[in-house]
């Protein structure tokens, strides 16, 4: 009887060890497979900074003039551009756009909010593909101009967000011309 009990206990222990070893091996394989996908998704989703702050106001011309006069902003037709060299990468020029819009502007639509934030990203095309897979609302088609690539999305609370992949060659020219 003792012999049979020892054999059963040995089999149970062997089974449990095999089961847990199998679970560990399967988990490592899954983690390796998923980590590649997760790493790529994280890289695509990586926001490198804020590219702009846009807000509605009663009179954009007057508000630009006020900020120019009282706070010294260098105003152009879009608002003010803050351009700098990145500290840890002096060869890279970055920018932030500050822009007031008319309170009647529909540019922030379909959002009903009075502001919109522009985020800089590294790979806008790849990010948009990933966001579509995740069911994020893409508001419009990607546009490209001298500043870079742009597209608008909506967050879960109805805030319109502008995603922006800068054209660093153009920004370098802006920096050297100012």
> Over its length of 178 residues, how does the chain's per-residue pLDDT go in tens digits?
555 444 445 444 554 445 444 555 445 545 554 544 555 555 555 788 899 999 999 999 999 999 999 889 999 988 998 888 777 777 777 888 999 999 999 999 999 999 999 999 989 999 999 999 999 999 999 999 998 999 999 999 999 999 999 988 887 776 555 5
Residue 167, domain extent: 47-177
Contact 118, 101 (CB under 8 A): no
For residue 154, which of 110, 122, 100, 96 has the smallest C-alpha distance?
110
Within 10 angstroms of residue 53's Cβ, the number of other Cβ atoms is 15
- Whether residues 72 and 4 share a domain: the answer is no
132 and 53, same structural domain? yes
- Both 94 and 9 in a single domain? no
Give yes or no: residues 2 and 67 share one domain.
Answer: no
Question: Do 62 and 39 lie in a common domain?
Answer: no
Which residues, 6+ apart, have CB-to-CB distance to 158 below 8 Å?
110, 111, 112, 113
62 and 142 co-located in one domain:
yes
How many domains would you assign to the chain?
2
Are 152 and 113 contained in the same domain?
A: yes
Pair (24, 105) in one structural domain: no
In terms of Cα–Cα distance, which of 56, 65, 163, 158 is closest to 105?
56
Same domain, 78 and 137: yes
């Amino acid at each position: 009887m003792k012999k049979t009990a020892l054999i059963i206990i040995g089999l149970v222990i062997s089974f449990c060890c095999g089961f847990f070893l199998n679970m560990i091996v399967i988990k490592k394989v899954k983690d390796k497979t998923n980590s590649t996908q997760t790493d790529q998704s994280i890289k695509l989703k990586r926001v490198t900074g804020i590219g702009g702050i846009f807000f509605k106001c009663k009179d954009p011309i007057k508000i630009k003039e006020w900020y120019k006069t009282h706070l010294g902003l260098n105003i152009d037709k879009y608002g003010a551009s803050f351009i700098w060299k990145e500290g840890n990468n002096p060869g890279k020029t970055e920018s932030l756009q500050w822009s007031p819009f008319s309170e009647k502007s529909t540019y922030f639509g379909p959002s009903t909010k009075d502001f919109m934030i522009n985020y800089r990203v590294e790979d806008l095309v790849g990010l948009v593909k990933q966001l579509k897979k995740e069911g994020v609302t893409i508001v419009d088609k990607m546009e490209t101009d001298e500043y870079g690539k742009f597209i608008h999305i909506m967050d879960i609370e109805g805030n319109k967000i502008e995603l922006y992949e800068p054209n660093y060659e153009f920004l370098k020219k802006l920096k050297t011309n100012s």
